[in-house]
Amino acid sequence: MLKITDLHVHVDGTEIIKGLNLEVKAGEVHAIMGLNGAGKSTLANTIAGRDDYVVSKGSISYQNKNLLDLEPHERVGEGIFLGFQYPVEIPGVSNLNFMRTALNGVRKYNGLEAMSAAEFMKLVRTKAGDLKMSLDMLKRFVNVGFSGGEKKRNEMVQMALLNPKLAILDETDSGLDIDALKIVAEGINAQRRDDTAVLLITHYQRLLDYVQPDVVHVMIDGKIIKSGGKELALELEEKGYAAVA
Amino acid sequence: MVATVETKQQVEEMAGEYKYGFTTDVEMEMAPKGLSEEVIRFISAKKDEPEWMLNWRLKAYRAWLKMEEPDWAKVDYEKIDYNDIYFYAAPKSQDKPKSLDEVDPELLRMYEKLGIPLREQEVLAGVEGAARVAVDAVFDSVSVATTFREELLKAGVIFMSISEAVKEYPDLVKKHLGTVVPQRDNFFAALNCAVFSDGTFVYIPKGVRCPMELSTYFRINAENTGQFERTLIVADEGSYVSYLEGCTAPMRDENQLHAAVVELITLDDAEIKYSTVQNWYPGDKDGKGGIYNFVTKRALCKGKNSKVSWTQVETGSAVTWKYPSCVLAGDNSVGEFYSVAVTNNYQQADTGTKMIHMGKNTRSTIISKGISAGKSHNTYRGLVKVLPGADGVRNFTQCDSLLVSSESGAHTVPYIEVKNPSAQIEHEATTSKISADQMFYCRARGLDEEEAIAMIVNGFCKEVMQHLPMEFAVEAQKLLGISLEGSVG
């Protein structure tokens, strides 16, 4: 589904990703672990198409398309979803309006008719309910005044609505208490199907107790230096990155 | 709300062109170029005005001759040659049409192109059950079609062109005209007094709640024709009216002058809600052409407990000089000003309000949202003045500026003059830039660049937009998106 070959990415003139290779197949959950500054978020943002992240070398193919040719919103239309590490506040824009615009944008990209307000409300109620998110939060402005946990849960509701093929979740587990972590993990597991893939970016193996990865990668200094099964995450936790690297 | 989706469609339709940039082929009748007593006599004669009206114009003209064009605003434009402007242009027609069927089809086609809201189109088409919005359509300088006038008359509401009102209700007009904006108020107001071509007169009698929202579409059509609209709205004791003003103009290379005057008067317990969506041609990407919009709008809250609320969405014009104001004379009267001003490319806007507190316990609220894109300059200029006798005055002012581009400018110039120690005046101001993070967040949710900007900007303006009547709000949301088209980068 996703194939990254010899990827180099510059941000503000500094090379952050330095020759990264990664292949994710449909039906798989991959976890990328690494310390701060390893380039994990840069990788996530690059896949989603952030335009100030410059790909200086290498390629990303997604479902046999050259992903780098697509605009960020087109990537969303093609089924890529990025759950943000720091979801952004948009004052004055209601969460519901935001979500509906997003959903209908994706539907339009895929040649589907826009969803009516009533239909949308039904859908969003179900999805928000699954993630224990109150209707009140849906009516508030996007992420404004949300706690860290609420923001992450809000990302999960958006993911559930957009029903992506490839979900990239950037530190979605950080800042969550154990109950919220379980809810979010359920949301991720619900997204797990034969035709979808998930890329989890995380510091800790805590989330991996609830979402079992098929492959774990260790990322250091802009490269994946080691890959293995879920036992690698435990090893990392135990011995630290230095020992594993 | 699917405003951004609609905006996207609209933007696609526009395809980089100013949608309203076309001219209508209607025969015009013009006064000679330039301004003189003869031209004023010509205008007055064309309109078959009574003597007092002509004299009033001439008096204003003589005052204007001695006045200087103001230069204190933060706008920069080529000096206007007042001798190179046609001060009067009217569609040639023998008799005024008695119904819309008799209206020049070319004109009706133009309304269609203008995208007059569906609700109003239904009304114009006489669809049963359609919400009633009366449209006094101003085509260039003369009102050519007035709907619902009779029904309004049943309620005692007078809604007609001001030139008709001069003839039919001379006493009412004489009593109020120029009492809020005197002839010598300022250079552009004096010019308007001398040459005003037409406009709207509204009178709401005592205790009447106007049965429908009144709406006027302004449109400048003839090349090199100044547009000098004059609006006078009088709300008698205990009455209420909501008035909508919206405008678009065809594409032109040469700058066009627009100097309107709007006067509002509220007596005891009366309320006027005045909403504007201004979308005149802003000039092209290089700053060529566009309308000069030098408007004097002022309300006199004459009676106690009266209220005037100005809401404006300003997206058009090359140069805007406009300060809808309230003179709060009556005790406990309330003035409100809600404004969104968007500038893109080389547009310049210097807009704001004046709240003059004269009466006791008068209150005012000012919410201004300025959005600057391209290489434009956007200035909020406002005055809050409290006179010595005005006890218990309260004012709240909030001015927020949003920069879309790094080459644009946002300026805030608040003046506060308080001569009474009991006044409570609050002023808040912020300036921010659309952040790359906000943009990327929206784009990572499937919005393209234009949609993302439209969404963020509409959110920024929400506090103002919610004061617009519903059908106007939708239109205005679209406009914000359209106005910022091509502003990214």
Instruction: Report the relative pairing of strands B89-91 and B133-139 from DSSP bridges.
Output: unpaired
**Cα four-point dihedral sign B155, B159, B163, B164:** negative
Q: Are A72 and B443 in contact (CB < 8 Å)?
A: yes
At residue B471, does pLDDT exceed 90?
A: no
pLDDT-derived band at B464, boundaries 50, 70, 90: very high
pLDDT tens string B79-126: 888 988 878 766 554 444 445 565 556 545 545 555 554 445 444 444
| Count: domains in chain A | 1
A108 contacts chain B (CB < 8 A): yes
Average pLDDT (B329-336) is 98
* Minimal CA separation from B13 to chain A, in Å: 16
Q: What number of C-beta contacts closer than 8 Å exist between A and B?
A: 91
Is residue A194 over pLDDT 60? Answer: yes
When the pLDDT of each residue in chain A is averaged and rounded to a whole number, the result is 94
Total count of residues recorded for chain A: 245
User: According to the model, what pLDDT value does residue A242 have?
Assistant: 81
Nearest residue of B to residue A158, measured between CA atoms: B445
| B1/A109 CB distance under 8 A | no
For an interface test with A, give the residue of B445, B447, B467 to mutate (most A CBs within 10 A). Answer: B445
| pLDDT, averaged across chain B | 82
- Dihedral Cα B434, B435, B438, B443, nearest 10 deg: 90
Asked if the Cβ–Cβ distance from A88 to B462 is below 8 Å, we say no
Element (H, E) at A220: strand A215-220
Task: Tell me what pLDDT residue B11 has.
Answer: 38
What pLDDT was estimated at residue B34? 85
A79 in contact with chain B, both atoms CB, cutoff 8 A: no
Quote the radius of gyration of chain B (alpha carbons, Å). 21
Instruction: Give the CATH number, domain containing residue A89.
Output: 3.40.50.300
- How far apart are the C-alpha atoms of B59 and B193, rounded to whole Å? 9
The secondary structure of residue B179, as a DSSP letter, is S
Of B331, B226, B223, B190, residue with least CA distance to B269: B331
Q: Which residue has the higher pLDDT, B16 or B120?
A: B120
Question: Which residue among B3, B5, B459 places its CB closest to the CB of A90?
Answer: B459
Contact A72 B436 (CB under 8 A): no
Segment A5-31 shows an average pLDDT of 96
What pLDDT does residue B280 have?
Answer: 81
B-chain residues near A50 (CB < 8 A): 440, 444
The minimum CA-CA distance between A67 and chain B, rounded to whole Å, is 14
pTM confidence score: 0.83
- Does B153 reach chain A within 8 Å, measured CB to CB? no
CA atoms within 13 A on the CB side of A108: 18
Check CB contact under 8 Å for B448 and A49: no
Give the model's pLDDT for residue B254: 58
A198's enclosing H/E stretch is strand A197-202
B447 at interface of A, judged by CB pairs closer than 8 A? yes
Interface of A with B in 116-135 (CB under 8 A): none
- A87 and B CB contact within 8 Å: yes
DSSP class per residue in B345-400: TT-EEEEEEEEEE-STT-EEEEEEEEEE-TT-EEEEEEEEEE-TT-TT-EEEEEEE
Identity of the residue in B441, B444, B447 whose CB atom sits nearest the CB atom of A101: B447
Q: What pLDDT, on a 0 to 100 scale, did the predictor assign at position B102?
A: 55
pLDDT above 50: residue B303: yes
Q: What letter represents residue B111's amino acid?
A: Y
- State the pLDDT confidence band at B247, using cuts at 50, 70 and 90: low
Task: Provide the residue range defining the domain that includes A23.
Answer: 2-244
Higher pLDDT, B13 or A53: A53
- Band (pLDDT 50/70/90 cuts) for residue B160 is confident
pLDDT of residue B450: 85
The band of B152, judged by pLDDT with boundaries at 50, 70 and 90, is confident
pLDDT at B258 over 50: yes
Whether residue B185 has pLDDT greater than 80: yes
Mean pLDDT of B316-344: 96
Complex ipTM value: 0.96
CB B292 within 8 A of CB B251: no
Q: Is the pLDDT score of B322 beyond 70?
A: yes
Q: What is the pLDDT of residue B197?
A: 81
Which of A17-26, B184-193, B263-272, B430-439 has the weakest average pLDDT? B430-439
For residue A78, give the chain B residue with the closest CA. B446
Best to test chain A binding among B12, B340, B398, B440 (most A CBs inside 10 Å): B440
Give the range among A153-162, B241-250, B293-302 with minimum mean pLDDT.
B241-250
Nearest to B441 among A77, A88, A162 (CB): A88
Higher confidence at residue B426 or residue B118? Answer: B426
In the prediction, which pLDDT does B476 show?
A: 81
